[in-house]
Amino acid sequence: MNNFWDFSVWGTFNLVAVLLVSLLLANMLKKYVKFLKNSLIPTSVLGGILILIASAIYKAVTGVYLFDTPFFGGDGMNVLEILTYHALALGFIASSLKTSTNKLNKKRTNEIFNTGVTTVSSYLLQGVLGLGITIVIAMFVSGFFAASGVLLPFGFGQGTGQALNYGNIYETDWGFDGGRSFGLTVAALGFLCAALGGVIHLNILKKKGKFNPQGELTEKLTMADVQDENEIPVNGSIDKLTVQLTLVAITYFATYMLMMGLSALLPGMTSVIYGFNFLIGVLLASLMKVLLKGLSKKQIVKRQHTNNFLLNRISNFFFDVMVVAGIAAIKIDLIKQYWWVLLILAVVGTISTYLYNLWIAKLFFKEYKDEQFLVMYGMLTGTASTGVMLLRELDPEFKTPAQENLILQNFPAIVFGFPLMLLATLAPKNPILTLILLVAFFIVMNLILFRSFIFKRKKKNTSQDQSVSESQPTETN
């Protein structure tokens, strides 16, 4: 029987409280410290870094991890990783439950599709370069884990949660000592690189006269932004926020049950299946939306239960917790021997992602190339919220379609990106074969992306050949 005054009762709450306080402290620093305000570093990243510094100092002095002390329940570092793991899926589920009334024309559909393909192509580019670098390093450094470079697209392209998932798989299934911290560090460096690259690009635009800093914006909300016409009341017999959290919880519970079933059918794939918790959650959230829509059409459910405003708040909360917990969970002593490898991966990942997305934005999104570049670069080095944050500096009212592209590109990105996740599980077994397959996949995705240029050129050449043949005189016997 637990005593209510024991640390075992209060440890997890104390840990979560420290995470949330760090967010408030980071937010204050960003408001009052000029270089932090101008840095574009996300508040959640800064909060995580503050905790990481305090934790590293404590570990250096005492030899014990700060969050593994009795005050935090004695196993706080594992709790941080668990929070990161669950917050990723819960954030995506909340986002996926939102309703959408957008009607798309052919041009917009193409732009969204191209955005999704660009996302996957960027993952693959990061994967090819990251894996290539670590394969070469493994040839010269004895005992180095050759497949570790695959964590670059998961840390940069997909963020803290997926970096932790695959770092954990590599550590538990393949013996990569410090794999989880390696992945989390890649993700943390990605956020810093997102801010650095974003500031550089905005300064370039400022010199060209295309960007005038407007300072912090205050979001003005109307009732239409907060609630649709046919929604349930805010505080009826059950509070509307409680309904949103319940829908998220039901979806995640169904996700867990499905993963349990799949693991029973495929016991050798258990780690991979549970690593896809966010993807399975997104798919089930989409089914939940279809179910609710069907019940509404049959008048079984007479009012709309989902609320986009509250689901946005829930999603952002979970993503903030995911980032700050993920960075706080880094064990610096486990990755200090690899600091130079991490630095190489960060530099190469940043430059390649910057140049590739800048090129794509200029080719396919000419009407709003700078906005599209910023939102994509921010997402592909940090998270979607980082991309939106960079976009708001240039397009504060979201007048361009860049933000909508970011949201709606998820479906094609998930479809095309799924093979990358499978290849990541092959990498520890056969890194060179995985690298070859990643290169081949990258070429295929770029053929899909540049399809309009390829087919246009073929069509043009065919027309020219026909015109030439028609202009030549025919021979007579």
Per-residue pLDDT band for 222 (boundaries 50, 70, 90) equals low
The residue that leads in pLDDT, 137 or 107, is 137
Q: 425: pLDDT confidence band, cut at 50, 70 and 90?
A: confident
Asked if the model's pLDDT at residue 120 lies above 90, the reply is yes
Q: pLDDT per residue over 429-449, tens digit each?
A: 999 999 999 999 999 999 999
Task: Give the pair of three-digit tokens for residue 378.
Answer: 């921010």
Whether the pLDDT of residue 238 is over 50: the answer is yes
Look at residue 152 in the predicted model and tell me its pLDDT: 94
Per-residue model confidence (pLDDT) at position 239: 86
CA distance 391 to 384: 11
Q: Does position 398 have pLDDT exceeding 70, yes or no? A: no
**Letter for the amino acid at 270?**
T
Tell me what pLDDT residue 469 has. Answer: 58
* pLDDT band at 101; cut points 50, 70, 90: low
Segments making up each domain of the chain, as ranges: 7-211+231-456
User: Average pLDDT, stretch 257-282?
Assistant: 85
- CA angle, 88 as apex, 190 and 159 as ends, to 5°? 15
Q: The dihedral of CA 128, 129, 131, 137: what is its sign?
A: positive
Residue range 184-209: average pLDDT? 85
Residue 477 has pLDDT above 50, yes or no: no
Query: Is the model more confident about 263 or about 221?
Result: 263
**Is the pLDDT confidence value at 299 over 60?**
yes
Question: What pLDDT, in 10s, does the model give residues 49-96?
Answer: 999 999 999 999 999 999 999 999 999 988 998 998 898 889 889 988
- Which pLDDT belongs to residue 15? 95
The stretch 195-211 carries a mean pLDDT of 82
Residue with the larger pLDDT of the pair 3 and 135: 135
3-class secondary structure for 274-301? Answer: HHCHHHHHHHHHHHHHHHHHHHHHCCCC
User: Is residue 361's pLDDT more than 80?
Assistant: yes
Question: Average pLDDT for residues 379-395, to the nearest whole number?
Answer: 79
Q: Regarding predicted confidence, which is higher, 460 or 306?
A: 306
Q: Measured in Å, how far apart are the chain's first and last C-alpha atoms?
A: 108
State residue 162's pLDDT score: 81
Amino acid at 421: M
Do residues 258 and 284 make contact, with C-beta atoms less than 8 angstroms apart?
yes
- CA-only gyration radius of the chain, Å: 24
Q: At CA 33, angle to CA 30 and CA 34, rounded to 5?
A: 100
Point out the least confidently predicted range of 56-65, 224-233, 281-290, 413-422. Answer: 224-233
Task: Tell me the mean pLDDT in the region 31-43.
Answer: 81
Give yes or no for a contact between 181 and 331, defined as CB atoms under 8 angstroms apart.
Answer: yes
Threshold 0.85, pTM exceeds? no
CA distance 2 to 5: 8
Res 72: pLDDT: 93
Question: Could you write out the three-class secondary structure of 132-156?
Answer: HHHHHHHHHCCCCCHHHHHHHHHHH
Average pLDDT, the chain: 85
Q: Are 288 and 250 in contact (CB under 8 A)?
A: yes
Please name the amino acid found at residue 44: S
Residue 444: its pLDDT value, please?
94
Q: What is the 3-state secondary structure (H, E, C) of the chain?
A: CCCCCCHHHHHHHHHHHHHHHHHHHHHHHHHHCHHHHCCCCCHHHHHHHHHHHHHHHHHHHHCCCHHHCHHHCCCHHHHHHHHHHHHHHHHHHHHHCCCCCCCCCHHHHHHHHHHHHHHHHHHHHHHHHHHHHHHHHHHHCCCCCHHHHHHHHHHHHCCHHHHHHHHHHHHHHHCCCCHHHHHHHHHHHHHHHHHHHHHHHHHHHHHCCCCCCCCCCCCCCCHHHHCCCCECCCECCCEHHHHHHHHHHHHHHHHHHHHHHHHHHCHHHHHHHHHCHHHHHHHHHHHHHHHHHHHHHCCCCCCECCCHHHHHHHHHHHHHHHHHHHHHCCCHHHHHHHHHHHHHHHHHHHHHHHHHHHHHHHHHCHHHHHHHHHHHHHHHHCCHHHHHHHHHHHCCCCCCCHHHHHHHCHHHHHHHHHHHHHHHHHCCCCHHHHHHHHHHHHHHHHHHHCHHHHHHHHHHHHHHHHHHHHHCCCCCC
